[in-house]
Amino acid sequence: MTAQTASSAVTVPVLAIDGPGGAGKGTISRLIAQRLGWHLLDSGSLYRLTALAALRKGVPLDDESRLADIALQLDVVFRADHGKTVIELEGAVVTNDIRTEQVGDSASRVAALPAVRTALLQRQRDFRQAPGLVADGRDMGTVVFTDAPLKIFLTASAEERARRRHLQLREAGMDASLSSLLKEIQARDARDMQRSVAPLVPADDAVELDTTSLSIPEVVEQLTQLLVQKGLTEVC
């Protein structure tokens, strides 16, 4: 990215949505991006793709150097298909493969490695293109897009997030124990919040929203109205 391009990118508005897994970030981010006609960054998928590639290559999840190389060389394509995002890795569709619990747990471990985060940082920032970007992740507002004009931190109880994840897996034809999912979510939360690099915390200027008892349309509407109030869009 040239200095001129980087300068112009800063003027492109970003809605940074952070929070733990299962809080609704992915679905809500996609719906808002579609509603506004903005670009979408699912940053978590980049870490999941790195983890999946490592697992397939037999690379240990503590081999920081080799994992960073994998992150730098990811051959990834994101494309829309009938309102859903299709993700390809090295020419093969892996949309469901990266959503398994094994890959999710591995991605959490990979994301704690400084070299991997550095490798993926500029790749994430390159998504910032006109007319705007909805960035979904865990450190969008605290690290990647610190100048985002609107930062949101979505939360929900661990029990509710486990329930949502269980339903998501069943709809995808996969099975999992609800109690096991709850334990994995609680362990991942602790690991993500306590890691030394880019821990999962709200940005100081983030708006925190608990989605435990809110429907997806209600959250989308609330965030859209916040964007309108900020003068970032006229869509309502």
Q: Would the annotation count 71 as a binding residue?
A: no
Q: Is 233 inside a domain boundary?
A: no
Question: Contact 30/123 with Cβ under 8 angstroms?
Answer: no
Q: Is 118 inside a domain boundary?
A: yes
Average pLDDT over every residue of 157-177: 90
Higher pLDDT, 22 or 160: 160
Q: Would the annotation count 23 as a binding residue?
A: yes
Q: Would the annotation count 24 as a binding residue?
A: yes
Q: Would the annotation count 172 as a binding residue?
A: no
pLDDT, one tens digit per residue, over 91-147 is 999 999 998 889 999 998 999 899 999 999 988 998 899 999 999 999 999 999 999
What is the percent of the chain with per-residue pLDDT over 90, rounded to a whole number?
69
Average pLDDT over every residue of 210-219: 96
- DSSP secondary structure letters along 81-146: ETTEEEEEETTEE-TTGGGSHHHHHHHHHHTT-HHHHHHHHHHHHTT--TT-EEEEESSIIIIITT
Q: What is the pLDDT of residue 172?
A: 80
Is the confidence at residue 149, as pLDDT, over 60? yes
Say which DSSP state 18 is in: E
Q: Would the annotation count 20 as a binding residue?
A: yes
Q: How far is CA 233 from the centre of its chain?
A: 22
Q: Is 232 inside a domain boundary?
A: no
Q: Would the annotation count 5 as a binding residue?
A: no
Q: Is 231 inside a domain boundary?
A: no
Q: How far is CA 29 from the centre of its chain?
A: 9
Q: What is the extent of the structural domain holding 89?
A: 14-226
Is the confidence at residue 41, as pLDDT, over 70? yes
Is the confidence at residue 80, as pLDDT, over 50? yes
Q: What is the CATH number of the domain that holds 196?
A: 3.40.50.300
Task: State how many domains the chain has.
Answer: 1
Q: Would the annotation count 19 as a binding residue?
A: yes
Q: Is 235 inside a domain boundary?
A: no
Q: Would the annotation count 44 as a binding residue?
A: no
Is the confidence at residue 7, as pLDDT, over 60? no
pTM above 0.85?
no
Is the confidence at residue 11, as pLDDT, over 90? no
Beta strand 39-42 pairing with 133-137: parallel
Q: Which residue has the tokens 């394509």?
A: 77
